[in-house]
Amino acid sequence: MDRMLKDKKAICVFVLPAFVFFFAMVILPIIMSGYYSLLEWDGMSKGIFVGFKNYVELFTSYNKAFPKALRNSLILAAMSVFIQLPISLVLAIILSRGIKGEKFYRTVYFMPVIISTVVLGQLWQKIYHYEYGMVNIVLRKLGLESWVHDWLGDTKTALICVFIVIVWQYIGYHMLLMYSSAKSIPEELYEAAKIDGASEITTALKITIPLMKPILNVCVTYAIVGSLKIFDLVYVLTGGGPLKSTEVPSTLMYTTIFFKNQFGYGSAMAIFIVIECLVLTVLVQKIFKSESYF
């Protein structure tokens, strides 16, 4: 018993610094934002307590800015789950089967993940540029002049263009997680399936994917949360424009706080993002606990 108590004390000693850091950098800012969200405050003068007024105004304001931003983030989350992750899954399964150049492709797909998002945003701005962008240059060279477009300047294409960059940046990240999971599956299972005459597709559907369920859970959670709180890429690429067509809650929160000095209203957006991420994360966990989905 004494030894167990000593071990517990040692555990507490080693865990305490990490806990203090986590509390100071994560929990405390959330608590402070929750308090600020109940105030009408410009960041300098004394705040006026208004209760849940800021939260109500998120969905009742005359310009409907927050609902539009929320819709955009949900669209990005849905596309990430149903487009980005399936592509990552296919690539992971193909690479895990030991194709020629496996290490090379694994490295190449992961490279965009380690590049700064700001750098990527600047790069893709040049790629999408109307005059000298690579996309329009290729279209002109192919004689498809009618397809030349101001990709980031059109409300109909801007959000899709942002999503393409998200896919390009993070497809390798999810692919590597799934690849590691697929590689850990015992080879004997594949050999038994091959003896039974199962095709590669059948093997993937009946063996590989079901056994990858834990990592698929992680990838879906990361994709959803990442899309809901995305800021830097959207801010660099479009700044939320044109005409708010790519505005997401994080960019709207930033402009509300630092340009309009509405700290209380902006803090309400921040708390809503936290709650939204938490609720959807719990929902994903419940879905993956149901064996009927696999």
pLDDT per position as a tens digit, 120-142:
999 999 999 999 999 999 999 99
CB 217 within 8 A of CB 281: no
Q: Rounded to an integer, what is the distance from CA 146 to the centroid of its chain? A: 34
How many whole angstroms separate alpha carbon 184 and alpha carbon 180?
A: 6
How much is the average pLDDT of 219-237?
94
How much is the average pLDDT of 210-229?
93
**Is position 40 within any domain?**
no
Digit-coded pLDDT (tens) for 6-54: 577 778 888 889 999 999 998 999 999 999 999 999 888 888 999 999 9
CB 81 within 8 A of CB 217: no
Q: Within 10 A of 271 (CB to CB), how many other CB atoms are there?
A: 18
pLDDT of residue 289: 84
How much is the average pLDDT of 47-72?
91
How much is the average pLDDT of 204-212?
89
Domain around 263: 60-293
Q: Within 10 A of 18 (CB to CB), how many other CB atoms are there?
A: 9
How much is the average pLDDT of 237-262?
93
CB 206 within 8 A of CB 198: yes
CB 251 within 8 A of CB 100: no
**Is position 245 within any domain?**
yes
**Is position 15 within any domain?**
no
Over 90: is that where the pLDDT of 199 sits?
A: no
Contacts of 30 (CB under 8 A, 6+ apart): 271, 274
**Is position 19 within any domain?**
no
* Number of domains comprising the chain: 1
85, HSE (Cβ side, Cα atoms, 13 Å): 22
CA angle 273/279/284 to nearest 5° reads: 120
Q: Which helix (H) or strand (E) holds 5?
A: helix 2-22
Average pLDDT of the chain? 90
CA angle 273/22/4 to nearest 5° reads: 130
| pTM tops 0.85, yes or no | yes
Here the CATH number for the domain that contains residue 259 is 1.10.3720.10
SS3 65: helix
**Is position 209 within any domain?**
yes
CB 257 within 8 A of CB 263: yes
**Is position 213 within any domain?**
yes
**Is position 242 within any domain?**
yes
Digit-coded pLDDT (tens) for 79-114: 999 999 999 999 999 998 888 888 898 889 999 999
pLDDT of residue 98: 80
Instruction: Compare 92 and 293 and report the one with higher pLDDT.
Output: 92
Residue position matching structure tokens 């095709």: 199
**Is position 10 within any domain?**
no
